[in-house]
Amino acid sequence: MGQTYLQLRLDLAAALSGFLDPSEAHAESIRWFEEGLGKSRSWVAAHGDEPVPAELRRQVSAWVRRRRAGEPWAYLLGWSLFRGRRFQVTPDTLIPRPETELLVEAALDVGTRLGVDRCVDVGTGSGIIAITLALETDWAVAASELSPGALAVAQANAGALGAEVAFQGGSLLEPVPDPVGLVVANLPYVDPADGPTLQRELSFEPSSALFAPDRGLALSTELLRQAKARQASACLLEIGAGQGGELCRRALGFGWHKALVHQDLENHDRVLIALG
Ligand SMILES: C[S@@+](CC[C@H](N)C(=O)[O-])C[C@H]1O[C@@H](n2cnc3c(N)ncnc32)[C@H](O)[C@@H]1O
């Protein structure tokens, strides 16, 4: 890898284009400089001919080797941004997805309209939903998670970001005391049958954070049932493309008064809202 910062960036883009498509490789090389090395484009323009310390060149070469094997950039970096905040991520946690911001926005909207004073984020992973809601509302926020590794990361993130969240280890709503208030969740919803066709990068994320039985519907269905039985104010779920119709039918079957689906920018079912 190059001796100067400018050369390093060109070499990096060339190395990445060996296994990413060219536009992706260019964007990632800029991202690596900004997020991984803390060097903005304007910094490189001004200081591009300065020599790169050998240790840093070795670090970039090591990242390239891991990235070539398919490891996601967020795991190499150790953090990812969600709604402008930095969250630690590890192989125990799902990497935050931009579409989960739609779920958070829907939760803020529904919770405000219903005047709730508490909520619970079920399957909190790195804690992005619970921590964002704790920092952006005055609600009492609880969170549950089955994976002890993910729970530890969520607790560390809450501490680092100064969010007050009552974390509970266990399944779905079982460890959460009454009243549960607004129930929000991005649970695993990928159909295990789709596993072989998924991007290689996904194989680095915990399968327990991705897949659910019954074509991806099992955990969402069980949470809709538990939330209704526990008299939740509403239940909001991130869901997969094409899952809205079936989950709405199941929600109504559990006694929810109303169930509606919001689609994302690509017109895929993305957020289910069960009310009443
Ligand atoms: C799709 S990930 C989402 C993580 C995080 N909420 C986010 O949006 O990035 C689903 C999470 O649910 C957890 N999980 C799976 N089954 C669970 C269960 N029965 N009860 C609680 N958490 C569960 C997984 O360990 C994983 O952290």
For domain 80-275, give its CATH number from 3.50.50.60, 3.40.50.150, 3.20.20.150, 3.30.70.2500: 3.40.50.150
Pocket test of ligand 1: the residue of 145, 205, 270 to mutate, having most ligand atoms within 8 Å of its CB, is 145
Q: What is the mean pLDDT of each run of 10 residues along the chain (276 residues)?
A: 88 94 89 93 93 94 95 95 97 96 98 98 98 98 98 98 98 98 98 89 92 97 98 98 97 98 95 97
CA of 125 to the centre of ligand 1 (A): 5
Is the shortest distance between the CB of 188 and ligand 1 below 6 Å?
yes
CA of 259 to the centre of ligand 1 (A): 22
CA of 52 to the centre of ligand 1 (A): 41
Is the shortest distance between the CB of 132 and ligand 1 below 6 Å?
no
Is the shortest distance between the CB of 90 and ligand 1 below 6 Å?
no
d(CA 22, CA 155): 38
CA of 146 to the centre of ligand 1 (A): 7
pLDDT at 54: 93
d(CA 146, CA 234): 22
Is the shortest distance between the CB of 80 and ligand 1 below 6 Å?
no
Burial of 58 (C-beta count, 10 Å sphere; 0-12/13-18/19+): exposed
Phi first, then psi: what are they for 52, rounded to 5°? -95, 130
Contact status, residue 142 vs residue 168, Cβ threshold 8 Å = yes
CA of 24 to the centre of ligand 1 (A): 29
pLDDT at 2: 67
Contact status, residue 161 vs residue 245, Cβ threshold 8 Å = no
Domain ranges of the chain: 5-69, 80-275
